[in-house]
Chains A and B, each alone.
Chain A
Amino acid sequence: MEAYSAERPSGWRKWLLNRFVLVPAAILAVAAAWNLYASTHDDGLVIGQVLDAQGKPVEGADVTLWVFSFTTFAESRSVRTGADGSFRITGNPSHHIQLSAVKPGVGSSQRIPIRLFFRSQNTTLAAPLVLSGKA
């Protein structure tokens, strides 16, 4: 009898340790962890660098953030690159953006599409914006 009762979960274990509780609990835990991560990484930072066709940093290039709005991309804000060609955009409100850069006399870049996993996700560009042609 003892062996029988030892094998059978009883009381709270019976109600808690089964797949109908554990699976939803695991899903809720993952969702909570994801929300925690999102809430601590949603400052809207977009960091990157602008280079010219020869691969040298471009100072004073205008970098424009385009934000997806319903069906088209609308210009949201612009910043200017520093001496090392880097830029830092703050307050990106979207999860679906494009970036472009231009400097008169040096050239312009194509619009680079960037997809994010949640709105305002902080991101650093994997590849720099490259200016080519004369703007």
Chain B
Amino acid sequence: MMRRSPTWPIHLALMAVCFVMLVPFYWVLKTSVSGENIFTFPPSIIPRNPHLFYYVDVWYAIPFARYFLNSVIVSVITIAANVVFNAMAGYALTREFRGKGFILILFLSCMMVPFQATIIPAYLITGQLGLLNSYVGLALPQFSTIICIFVFKASFDAIPGSLIDAAKVDGLPEWRIVWTIMLPLAKSAMATNVILSFIWSWNNFLWPLIMTRTPEMQTLPLGLARFLSYQEDTTGALYAFCIMVLAPGILLFLLAQKEFIQGLTSGATKG
């Protein structure tokens, strides 16, 4: 009988890693309720006289609700487009067709091109479409992301091909195969798509900075820059702003973390 090795060293190491990764988050949270400058000496682990008024300051210093609404609308559009387009592309890549290898290489090589390199053509195309300074225009460059296409592909690859063949025998068109058979079986890939596209859209700074023309269309990252330009002594309020921007992403991750982890690891043990 094999003796099981103790698990406590692994847990100890994991706790140490968790501590290192969570300390910055704790520090941001602590500063947002105490306003203590990072150079305060001696530094305090427990916040002194904590209060929530820095959050109130942020709420009234800029039109936070408007920026929040803009970010939510853009993120929802981005998520919807990502799920639809990435699922279609991922499904296509599970099928055999001429030039599939070339397209896969093209996708992989496109991943290496940074967005900053394509931002001028993206701007010109968006302008030609008449979508500058609009919600759809804000979401347009992130309508589909290659990483998420591969997440869907990996998930779809794990579904038996006989299921698709049976659906075809029953006369289902391709789009219904994706919608009614593949997607319900790839919930974890969908959750991964939702979380990743949400975070990318939520944190996007450069594209909204370039293509928005009115303050009413700005999103939260731009609001943060505007807030910094308004006030000089913003230690507590700045950190409160960061928490307010981070909170929806963290909440979404906590809600869907099980599916998110499954989505990222689906296909990893295949074969």
Contacts and interface: CB of A to CB of B under 8 A. Distances in A.
Decide if the interface of chain B is mainly helix, strand, loop or mixed: helix
Nearest to A95: B56
A23 interface: yes
A20 B57 contact: no
A117 B255 contact: no
Nearest to A118: B56
A20 B255 contact: yes
Q: Is the interface of A mostly helix, strand, loop or mixed?
A: loop
B91 to A, nearest CB: 24
Contacts of A19: 255
Interface in B44-76: 51-53, 56-57, 60
Contacts of B230: 70
A96 B54 CA distance: 11
Given A96-B57, A115-B53, A116-B56, A23 B231 contact: no
B117 interface: no
Contact of A119 (B60, B251, B255): B60
Contacts, number: 23
Interface residues of B, number: 12
A54 interface: no
A117 B56 contact: yes
A90 B60 CA distance: 21
A71 interface: yes
A117 B57 CA distance: 9
Nearest to B251: A23
B94 to A, nearest CB: 27
A95 B232 CA distance: 19
Contacts of A96: 53, 56-57
A115 B56 CA distance: 9
A119 B53 CA distance: 12
Interface string B215-240: 00000000000000011100000000
Which of B51, B60, B230, B232 counts the most A-chain CB atoms under 10 A from its CB?
Answer: B60
23 contacts: A19-B255, A20-B255, A20-B256, A23-B251, A23-B255, A70-B230, A71-B231, A71-B232, A95-B56, A95-B57, A95-B60, A96-B53, A96-B56, A96-B57, A115-B51, A115-B53, A115-B56, A116-B56, A117-B52, A117-B53, A117-B56, A118-B56, A119-B60
Interface of A: 19-20, 23, 70-71, 95-96, 115-119
